[in-house]
């Protein structure tokens, strides 16, 4: 495919491989209304290095989105926190603005035709704002304190069970906020029929739904790691100190 990719039309490739849209967007190549030209022609018009772009496109096509099989239960609290931050928090910081751009664009252009886009627009912006408020609470309050306490334990410094009780309130809030985010992504899934595009969807519409589907997957895994592994490990540590 790599040899023939430059002869493929921009819009055709994005339709077959939606994740390549991100590569075109970074190169300022229109893959929506102006996508009816070959990738080679698009590179020439936009003065983009065709070989470099081809390599980036192949990387996007071949990328494996399945997370590695990891022993999350066996991770230390600090390692697990670092994993959650570097994999999931950074993903959200990078992805939320991009999805917002397409949600706004598609709703403005096709909102009258697809009435459900207004609800999608409202739900997404609520989710985005809630996550932007949620992540700093974990990063600035909960995560650093947990790592500090684990470090003291590893250094042999005595920690009383009462110290860990300070996490009960913040963790309760995190659970509640996770529930709210979970309800929104499930509603997004419902109104889009599992992120299924209409038959006449433009490439921006297709990409928006693909990114929402990706967000759904990532956020589900993210919440799972915290609700079902990280928070119970903190509770287990408290119980261990009490015994």
pLDDT at 13 over 50: yes
Q: Which of 37-46, 145-154, 159-168 has the lowest mean pLDDT?
A: 159-168
For 116, phi then psi, to 5°, come to -70, -15
178 falls within a domain: yes
18 falls within a domain: yes
The structure tokens listed for 211 are 């990114």
Q: What is the pLDDT of residue 33?
A: 60
- The average pLDDT across 200-228 equals 92
Same domain, 50 and 112: no
Q: What is the pLDDT of residue 224?
A: 85
Same domain, 164 and 50: no
Q: Which of 133, 117, 85, 81 is nearest to 192 (CA)?
A: 117
Q: What is the pLDDT of residue 66?
A: 47
Kind and range of the H or E run holding 127: helix 116-137
Interval 144-159: pLDDT, tens: 999 999 999 999 888 8
pLDDT at 232 over 90: no
Same domain, 85 and 160: yes
Greater model confidence, 115 or 160: 115
Which domain CATH number covers 40? Answer: 1.10.3910
29 falls within a domain: yes
Would you say 17 and 60 are in contact if contact means Cβ atoms under 8 Å apart?
A: yes
Q: State the Cα–Cα distance between residues 239 and 243, nearest whole angstrom.
A: 6
Same domain, 115 and 228: yes
Q: What is the pLDDT of residue 206?
A: 95
Q: Which of 21-25, 36-40, 115-119, 220-224 has the lowest mean pLDDT?
A: 21-25
Beta-carbon contacts of residue 171 (< 8 Å; ≥ 6 apart): 142, 231, 234
Interval 52-109: pLDDT, tens: 999 999 988 887 554 555 678 888 999 999 999 999 999 999 999 999 999 999 999 9
Q: What is the pLDDT of residue 62?
A: 81
Looking at mean pLDDT, say which of 13-17, 33-37, 84-88 comes out highest: 84-88
- How confident is the prediction for the chain on average, in pLDDT? 89
Q: Provide the whole-model pTM.
A: 0.79
Same domain, 137 and 104: yes
pLDDT at 7 over 90: yes
3-state secondary structure of 95: helix
pLDDT at 191 over 90: yes
Q: State the Cα–Cα distance between residues 125 and 104, nearest whole angstrom.
A: 10
Same domain, 44 and 161: no
The structure tokens listed for 215 are 């967000």
Same domain, 81 and 48: no
Same domain, 135 and 229: yes
Q: What is the pLDDT of residue 65?
A: 57
- Domain containing residue 98: 77-242
68 falls within a domain: no
Same domain, 125 and 29: no
Structural domain count of the chain: 2
pLDDT at 32 over 80: no
Q: What is the pLDDT of residue 3?
A: 54
The structure tokens listed for 96 are 């939320």
């Amino acid at each position: 495919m790599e040899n023939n990719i430059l002869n493929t039309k921009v819009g055709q490739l994005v339709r077959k491989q939606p994740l390549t849209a991100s590569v075109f967007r970074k190169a300022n190549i229109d893959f929506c209304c102006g996508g009816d030209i070959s990738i080679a022609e698009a590179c020439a018009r936009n003065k983009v290095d065709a070989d470099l772009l081809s390599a980036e496109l192949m990387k996007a096509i071949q990328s494996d989105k399945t997370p590695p099989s990891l022993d999350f239960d066996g991770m230390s609290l600090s390692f697990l926190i670092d994993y959650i931050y570097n994999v999931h928090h950074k993903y959200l910081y990078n992805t939320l603005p991009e999805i917002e751009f397409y949600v706004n664009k598609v709703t403005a252009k096709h909102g009258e035709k697809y009435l459900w886009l207004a609800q999608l627009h409202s739900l997404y912006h609520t989710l985005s704002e809630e996550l932007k408020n949620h992540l700093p609470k974990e990063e600035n309050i909960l995560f650093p304190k947990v790592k500090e306490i684990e470090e003291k334990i590893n250094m042999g410094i005595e920690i009383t069970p009462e110290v860990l009780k300070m996490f009960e309130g913040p963790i309760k809030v995190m659970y509640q906020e996770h529930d709210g985010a979970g309800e929104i992504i499930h509603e997004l899934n419902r109104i889009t029929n599992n992120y299924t595009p209409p038959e006449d969807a433009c490439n921006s519409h297709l990409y928006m739904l693909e990114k929402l589907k990706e967000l759904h997957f990532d956020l589900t895994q993210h919440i799972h790691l915290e609700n079902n592994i990280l928070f119970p490990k903190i509770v287990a540590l408290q119980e261990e100190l009490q015994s």
